[in-house]
Every structure is written in C-alpha cells, then in structure tokens.
Structure 1
Amino acid sequence: MKSFIVFTLCAAVALAAPQRQAYSGDEKQAETLRYDNNVDVYAYSTSLETSNGIKSAESGTLNNQGKDNEAFVRSGQYAYVGPDGVTYSVTWTADENGYHAQGAHLPQ
C-alpha cells in the first residue's frame, strides 16, 4: 500500500510540473498556407504547409484487402525550420513491418 501511495504522489508531482515545449518556430504567427485532404474508402492523402516553414504530406492505402495479410501502408514526409535556422526533413513509411524514418540529421 505504501508503494502505491508513493507512486501516486510521484505521478501527481510529475504531472503538475511545468511541461517544456519543443521549439517549432513562431507558432503564434504561423498561418496555414495550403491544406489538402483526400479520403477514399481504402486510401487517403493529406498535405499541409504553414507560413513558418512547416511542410507535411502523407498518403496511405489498404493493401491485400480481405486477405490474411491485409495491411494499411502509409508513407510521407515532413520538414520544419529548427531554432538554428536549418530546415530538417524526414521521410517515413509505416506498414506491417513497423515505422521507418530517414533524415540526414537522424542516426543510421
């Protein structure tokens, strides 16, 4: 019972602590420049661009519909300007084998 109380108190302190927010540019001044969204029963695509340099696009499809190896496959990319002024880009895929991301700034 004591360990439960200690755990609960630790969790309460952690949740009450101020949360650090990641830098993502001048968020309050950013405006949506472009937003596209296309959804079908077995596929979708979406893209977004904001005035502070954030760009994102992704698409997905249902492969092998109705079969034992049916899987939803997604891929996309995103880019943002970091606090150092450098544009960071990531391309990724997500499928039955997991999530895989690639970017020049990510470890290999």
Structure 2
Amino acid sequence: MFLAVLALAAVAYAQEQRPIAILRQAHPDIHPEGHYSHSFETENGIYQQEQGSASVRGETGNVVASQGSYQYTAPDGQVIQVQYTADQNGFQAQGDHLPKAHPIPEAIARALEYIRTHPQPVEEQRRF
C-alpha cells in the first residue's frame, strides 16, 4: 500500500512539471574569423547572452576571450544577475550577490609596505 501511494505521488509530481518555454533565442552566430554570439530568455526569468572571439594570443596559442551576462531567480526569490569576462586571465564574474573583498586595514597596509620596501637579507648558508 505504501509503495502504491509513493508511486501515485511521484506520478502526480511528474505531471505538474511542464517544459519552460523559450521566449527569445538567438542561435549561435559563429563567424569564420573566430567571433561568435548567442543569447536566450525563458518564461521563468532565466536570461543568458555571450559574445566572444578567438583572437587573443595566449602563452599556449589562441585563447577564446568572451564576455556576457546571465540572470535567474534564486529559490528565495532574489533575482541573481552576473556579468562576466573570460579570457587568458581566467573567469571573472561580477554581481551584487557575490562576496566583496574588504579593504585592508591601514595598519596592515603600512606593515605590508614596510615589508615590501625592507626585504630581509639573504644569508649565505654554510656547509660543514
């Protein structure tokens, strides 16, 4: 009996799920020169767009440099928006929901500057 109720609950849950409609979509536009762009938006508020190119030279050859943004609604209802770049320096994202670095306290900044300008002398190691 328990399994029958569990099976009915699973079927009811599966029937409630419906595909999310795509409201707008720009299919990937890829050019022979190496640049591209694409985007889409769904009815539940998900949005993504990106453009990039393979023209940036890195240490190991061509690097795809891209920039774009995406957004979605978090389970708590907050709209999450992210702008990003990705290139030879890695993936760098910005968004109001992301943690921000705290400013370095003045005393620590002075100590770091002192250390930088007064390196310890390197002593020659003696061998016995």
Same fold (TM over 0.5): yes
Q: Is the Cα–Cα contact under 8 Å of residues 56 and 65 in structure 2 kept in the other structure?
A: no
Whose helix fraction is larger, Structure 1's or Structure 2's? 2
Counterparts of 2:81 and 2:22, CA distance in 1: 19
Cα drift, residue 61 of structure 1: 0.8
| TM-score for the superposition, normalised by structure 2 | 0.57
Counterparts of 2:17 and 2:42, CA distance in 1: 10
Change (3 A) 1:60 1:54: same
Work out whether 1:105 is the aligned partner of 2:97. yes
Q: Which residue of 2 aligns with 1:73?
A: 65
Higher relative contact order (CA 8 A, sep 6+): 1
Q: Which residue of 1 aligns with 2:88?
A: 96
Change (3 A) 1:92 1:27: farther
Counterparts of 1:64 and 1:103, CA distance in 2: 25
Counterparts of 1:75 and 1:64, CA distance in 2: 13
Counterparts of 2:49 and 2:17, CA distance in 1: 19
Q: Which residue of 2 aligns with 1:28?
A: 18
Q: Is the Cα–Cα contact under 8 Å of residues 27 and 52 in structure 1 kept in the other structure?
A: no
Counterparts of 2:63 and 2:45, CA distance in 1: 33
Cα drift, residue 27 of structure 1: 6.9
Q: Give the SS at the match of 1:53.
A: coil
**What stretches of structure 2 of length at least 5 have no aligned partner?**
1-15, 101-128
Q: Is the Cα–Cα contact under 8 Å of residues 26 and 40 in structure 2 kept in the other structure?
A: yes
Counterparts of 1:90 and 1:49, CA distance in 2: 15
| TM-score for the superposition, normalised by structure 1 | 0.66
Q: 2:75 aligns with which of 78, 83, 96?
A: 83
Which has the greater radius of gyration?
2
Q: Give the SS at the match of 2:18.
A: helix
